A and B are shown apart, each in its own frame.
Chain A
Amino acid sequence: MTTLSIVGLNHASASVELRERFAFSEDRQLQVLTELNELVDEVVLLATCNRAEIIYSTENTDMHKEVLDYIQKLGHLSEIDFEHHFYVQHGKDALTHLCRVASGLDSMVMGETQILGQCKDAFERSFANDYAGKNFQQLYQETLRTAKLVRSETQLGEGHLSVSALAVELAKNIFERLDDKHVLLLGAGEMCELAGEYFKAVNVASITVVNRTLENGQELAGRLNCNFAEWSKLTAQLKKSDIVLCSTGSDKAIIDRAMVKEAMHRRELPMFFIDIAVPRDIDPDVNSLSDVYLYNIDDLKELSEKNMDIRQERASMAEYIIKEKITLFERQRNEDIGSVIVSLREKAHEIKDNELNQLFKNVDWKDDDRQQVERSVELIVNKILHTPISSLRKGLEEEEHDHKRKNLMDLFKDFFNI
């Protein structure tokens, strides 16, 4: 396996203050790569808002220390900080980590898809600027293949967990398109703001905030850059809306069955209500109306838990795929060595058999003598082969650079004409 090493920190190992020290501009990243490339053979810098990782390979094992020192200086870190917040991995562990990162398994929001693009950009930048080459090409391809396989086989990123994201997901389950839908936010709290941001992100036609306290409502409408309507206009607003999200502090239901029934009169499309207030803002009986869909906080929590379970299950499947792919990768490399050794043995035994046939053809041998000669020649051939085969195995075991292993095998094949 390529001598791959990874040194890095992420959202789980370090605080945002520490991660910020490694949030470099594009120019600074290139500068860091240039400096690191003086220490190691090939290097890639993966820097996102949640992680900073230096992926490198070097023949000289003494250089690992140099790289760690460089990173410590780069981030103005104490030795303790470095030990506590950074992870260092080599060989198979590093490759596994890289595959996990590219697949989104190691992301803060597990299964997010952005990281694969960020990995691609990081490697492509190093390839384009000659910070990485032959060694990392195969590794890069293998990582991409694994990450894509994980995504296609597990759908890791599907199923939201937060209440606001779930509300948008459910709205998408009801409405074919959201860009012509009108959202009504009842309340001006944090949850309403968060949900408003989510709905804004999916480009709904309009968002209107209705709140008892005028100032708070207007303030939220200002922050979300959307409309505001007075409390007295609630019934009228209800008729205009397709999606209604409630999160007020009211101790009794604000929207009752009669109000919704009136809003539904001669309406072509369904209405979707999300009630995340406790006590509830919407009379639960509303859900019994035709074409009306009501979800309360418990329903959303249940969905979130279900999604969490599914994600965990998919994560286990993803881990299994990565493990299998790495095992397969290793096996393929071992098969290459095996095929060279088998070819050499076959060639040697073919020569031996030809020579023995010639020998037995000319002289009339007794069976016992013949068998003894055959056994002795067999032993001689095996002993002669033992040394080069052992040396090849040892050489390949010690040499972890793929292109050097290939050179060694090519040399061996040329030498024995196989």
Chain B
Amino acid sequence: MTIFTNLAVLCSGIAFVFFLFFAFQENKKVFAAGTMLVLASFICLTVPIAGMLHEHKLAFFSQPGSRYFLFAWILIIVYFIAVYKYRVRLLGILVMPLASILLLIAIREKNISVVASTSDWLLFIHVGLVLISFGILCIAFAGSILYLVKQKALKKHEESAISGRLPALTTLQRIMQNSFYSGFPLLTVGAVLGILVAEDWQSIKILFGLIIWFVYAILFTLAKGGQLKKKQLAISVLLLFILFNSYFLVTSPKVDQSVEQIKTEGAEG
């Protein structure tokens, strides 16, 4: 299984290099090669995920390491859908590094001991929805970055090599808005299910999760009500993305373990 995960990291990493090259030197063959590598990475990732699912059944979703694998897998699917739907080839330069980092974390976290207590369908749906909503938010993040690049070039009347290759501003606006809007209901349902399956209501994971949902809800309401200008929405998406990443970092099993360790040392002391 390790060879597949390593290959997946390698393919997504090389795909990123190809996409980066494509951003500066528009060459359809380079983009096609990058896309094939993303596909290869996806296939390589599907094999260990299928293996782990077969081995652990639904308990797979409660394992800390596996959620990163699953997240990278979902991210690639969302990426393919977005590229197909919006025809924005430059999304890869922003999405692929994320996928590579997730896979690297997944490989590292895989060795951490797992406490798989709950393994019911609610947990499965909760994890799935949260990861899909975050995957969609990653596309919104990529769309926002590209939107800000294009917007700045048009405002300042200075087209750069990258902004010149980007599609129309309203296309990027559509990617950003649609992804931002569609991620929220999924996260809401996922969060509700998370509360239902939660064993400890006062855990940092639940509290931080609720804060993120609350921030997302405020931004969602403002954007839907036309209170946020497009540039403000793009910046909001970036902030939300940072919040999501902080959530993943804070709720990482390594952090949990360190907290436990500090608590234990404190009690002993």
Contact = CB atoms under 8 A, between A and B. Distances in A.
B157 A295 contact: yes
A117 B176 CA distance: 40
Contacts of B229: 290-291
Nearest to B171: A176
Interface in A258-307: 266, 268-270, 287, 290-291, 293, 295, 299, 302-303
Contact of B231 (A174, A269, A290): A290
Contact of A174 (B154, B157, B174, B226): B154
Nearest to B154: A293
Given A290-B230, A290-B231, A291-B229, A269 B170 contact: yes
Nearest to B174: A176
A266 B154 contact: no
Contacts of B174: 176
A139 to B, nearest CB: 28
Contact of B155 (A173, A268, A293): A293
A209 B229 CA distance: 30
Nearest to B170: A176
Interface in A166-222: 172-176
Contacts of B169: 173-175, 270
Interface string B133-175: 0000000000000000000001101000000000111110010
Contacts, number: 36
A302 B157 contact: yes
A266 B157 CA distance: 25
Given A176-B174, A266-B226, A287 B155 contact: yes
The size bracket of the interface on B is: 10 to 19
Contacts of A175: 168-170
A175 B155 CA distance: 14
B60 to A, nearest CB: 41
Given A287-B155, A295-B157, A302-B157, A176 B230 contact: no
Interface string B99-136: 00000000000000000000000000000000000000
Nearest to A159: B164
A48 B38 CA distance: 47
Interface of B: 154-155, 157, 167-171, 174, 226, 229-232
Given A176-B174, A302-B157, 13 more contacts: A172-B168, A173-B168, A173-B169, A174-B154, A174-B168, A174-B170, A175-B169, A176-B168, A176-B171, A290-B230, A290-B232, A293-B154, A299-B157
Among all A-B residue pairs, the 6 with the closest Cβ atoms:
A290-B229, A176-B168, A176-B170, A176-B171, A174-B169, A299-B157
16 contacts: A172-B168, A174-B168, A174-B170, A175-B170, A176-B167, A176-B168, A176-B174, A268-B226, A270-B170, A290-B231, A291-B229, A291-B230, A291-B231, A293-B154, A295-B157, A299-B157
